[in-house]
Amino acid sequence: MQTDSSFTFVLFGGTGDLSMRKILPALFEAHRAGGMLADSGKIVAVARHANNRGEYIQWVNEFVKPHVSKNGVDEAAWASFLERIEFINIDLSQAEDFVQLRDVLKDLPGIRVFYLATGPSLFVPICRALASVGLNENARIVLEKPLGYDLKSSNAINDAVGEIFTEEQIYRIDHYLGKEPVQNLLALRFGNALFEPLWRREWVESIQITIAEELGVEARGDFYDNTGALRDMVQNHLLQLLSIVAMEPPHSMDSDSVRDEKLRVLRALKPIDPRDIGKVAVRGQYHSGVIRGTAVPAYATEPGVKPDSATETFVALKVEIENWRWAGVPFFLRTGKRLADRVAEIVVNFRAVPHSALGASALRAGANRLVIRLQPNETIRLYCLAKQPGEGMNLASVHLDLAFDQFFREGQMEAYQRLLLDVINGRLALFVRRDEQEAAWRWVEPILNEWKASNKPPKPYASGTWGPAASSAMLAQHGTCWLEEEN
């Protein structure tokens, strides 16, 4: 991903948690690698928690530096990275302050990228203020999630931003799409004749997609209590991963070809009848428990959370896709906080052989499955059956690993690093198009509405477990179970 593209990267929310943990470390890694960022490229941080550039650089050294380079910081590279950074203190709610930003940017080079690492309530005011001083022209705008609370509010934000920036200028970021194993999933499917004939209803029994966290809501209680797991994780991350897994082969990897195929999947999701939501959707809320030997509190006692909150911290869904390739194949989605492990993975369960000529041990050993793990370690593992050494035909499950660190000596690129380089270089394929987002909201909204109307509380589950028992029972009805194994 070498580039000569000159750029000015304007980071709104320059002292926020996202900037500290993800954005600035990702830009440093691209800088350190050499050749990924044009030498003339500049970073302009916009924030109110520093008065001048000196104070901001001090903040970067204190809070950002610990998050970069797992193998230590190259001090020379770090010093030259800091030289890229400019700073401006303006009030984002005051449009007239953006004249000062315009004056700072007028002599800086290249394409302008505006990254809105702020709360969504500031998206529209910032965009309007940029337009008021002419900074929207020939620029790119990056919008973080959550983009709205429901379809109506999402459309309101998109309408307002769309009046100022064209769709080709808007980069709606979902960092899961930048993860290396997701990219490898595309390579696995569309670069190999081995898997494509099997990637369909005749050979696939079910597919699971899990994003599990050990952490609770931490300091985000106020935000999370008004959001919940369905809005926070399912509407974006999980449905985006599902669309990647289930999409038809695009004719090329250009941005619209890929996103057109993802959209077809989202539009083919079988609508959920409100009367059936109890059968295909499980919501839960964590209670107190123990994680890795440490006692953790219940969700309702977390700071910023209402004591009688009915917000879900766990969701499990059975999803069906009404098209020729996937008709009748259940997709099981699961996400939650305070679960037994931190893991994100896609599990493709293949059908068993139609007749076991090798005896009962083949049935006990199970069928083939493909596990694409996104975190904490990024691997692709194919499970097959093999004969155990010794007398008799006794089969056991073995696996083939795609070990990235052994095949590719260079380090893997973090998701934000890839996505930020794509913004700078004008590549839209890994960003969410507006019609994708609308299709996802349309499918999710009936679940949200039914949960709100029913007034039923979420099912409780102890922290440190895999969620409510109803989640496992839902899969048991289809003769399968969640894959839960050690890292």
Catalytic residues: 237
Sign of the dihedral through C-alpha 249, 250, 255, 256: negative
Distant-in-sequence, close-in-space partners of 269: CB < 8 Å, separation ≥ 6: 239, 319, 320, 321, 322, 439, 443
Please check whether residue 171 is in contact with residue 424, taking contact to mean a CB–CB distance below 8 angstroms: no
DSSP letter at 308?
Answer: T
**β partners of residue 333:** 209, 317
Token pair 């809320």 in the structure block, residue: 285
Report the distance separating Cα 84 and Cα 43, nearest Å. Answer: 6
Going 292 to 307 to 471 to 176, the CA torsion angle's sign is negative
Q: Which of 178, 146, 185, 484 is nearest to 342 (CA)?
A: 484
Show Cβ contacts of residue 407 under 8 Å, excluding neighbours closer than 6 positions.
none
Say how far residue 299 (Cα) sits from the centre of its chain: 23
Cis bond leading into 146, ω under 30°?
Answer: yes
Candidates 420, 428, 425; CA nearest to 170 is 428
Nearest residue to 436 (alpha-carbon basis) of 144, 151, 166: 151
